[in-house]
Chains A and B, each alone.
Chain A
Amino acid sequence: KNEVEQSPQNLTAQEGEFITINCSYSVGISALHWLQQHPGGGIVSLFMLSSGKKKHGRLIATINIQEKHSSLHITASHPRDSAVYICAVSGFGNEKLTFGTGTRLTIIP
């Protein structure tokens, strides 16, 4: 079993829909990271969080430490949101990231 599990693996939605991507992890963590990998391959860090909730524009990330679960939400989705979204965790005393396998999101106009 992978230390970081994401669901769904693939998600196709219509423009404007509310999107939720889930991430579960099985180890103790110091922080959870959400990353976006563009079709061209570049990786952008969206959020780093260790508790509660963070919001940036149309993106919202939440984490429940007790349940070892995080969600990434996108409101009013747009075709430019189409990308692979990756959940990653960093442990205590070592900042290296352990990654989920990613969720491929496609937003149809």
Chain B
Amino acid sequence: NAGVMQNPRHLVRRRGQEARLRCSPMKGHSHVYWYRQLPEEGLKFMVYLQKENIIDESGMPKERFSAEFPKEGPSILRIQQVVRGDSAAYFCASSLGTSGRNTDTQYFGPGTRLTVL
């Protein structure tokens, strides 16, 4: 049973380009979370998705950032027109989303390290 997979592991972009980060949750998991870790800072929540639905995007910047979790395929975090301040490690986590339970263990992917030149 493979864990949470993220790709690419490292991504280098020039200012103004687009970055696409992919996350494949663990098998059977229907909840996906994206978190960002800026250099020398703690982890911050960005967005919480279930299949085809954004549940909470309160941590995601209103401009240039978007996320999706389609019915088929991985979850995608998209950053348009990247700036140097977007350089960070982006972690995806998934959970089972057991019906009736308020919370489940989240399993983290290895992260994508984005560097904006």
Whether both chains belong to one complex is answered with yes
Measured between beta carbons, the chain B residues less than 8 angstroms from A42 are 108, 110-111
Measured between beta carbons, the chain A residues less than 8 angstroms from B33 are 95-97
Known A-B contacts A30-B102, A30-B103, A90-B103; A97 and B45 likewise in contact (beta carbons under 8 Å): yes
CB distance from B17 to the nearest CB of A (A): 23
Among B42, B91, B107, B110, the one with the most A-chain Cβ atoms within 10 Å of its Cβ is B42
Give chain A's interface residues, CB within 8 Å of chain B: 30-31, 33, 35, 41-45, 48, 50, 86, 88, 90, 92-102
Measured between beta carbons, the chain B residues less than 8 angstroms from A95 are 31, 33, 48, 95, 102-104, 106
What are 24 contact pairs spanning A and B, CB under 8 A? A30-B102, A30-B103, A31-B102, A31-B103, A35-B108, A41-B110, A41-B111, A41-B113, A43-B111, A45-B105, A45-B107, A48-B104, A48-B105, A86-B43, A93-B102, A94-B48, A95-B33, A95-B95, A96-B59, A97-B45, A97-B93, A97-B106, A99-B35, A101-B42
Known A-B contacts A33-B106, A41-B89, A45-B105; A99 and B48 likewise in contact (beta carbons under 8 Å): no
- Verify if B18 is at the interface (C-beta below 8 Å from A): no
Instruction: Please tell me the number of chain B residues within 8 Å of chain A, measured between CB atoms.
Output: 26
Beta-carbon contacts under 8 Å, B16-60 to A: 31, 33, 35, 41-45, 48, 55-56, 59
Instruction: Let me know if B111 and A86 touch, CB within 8 A.
Output: no
Q: Determine the residue in chain A with the shortest Cβ distance to B108.
A: A43
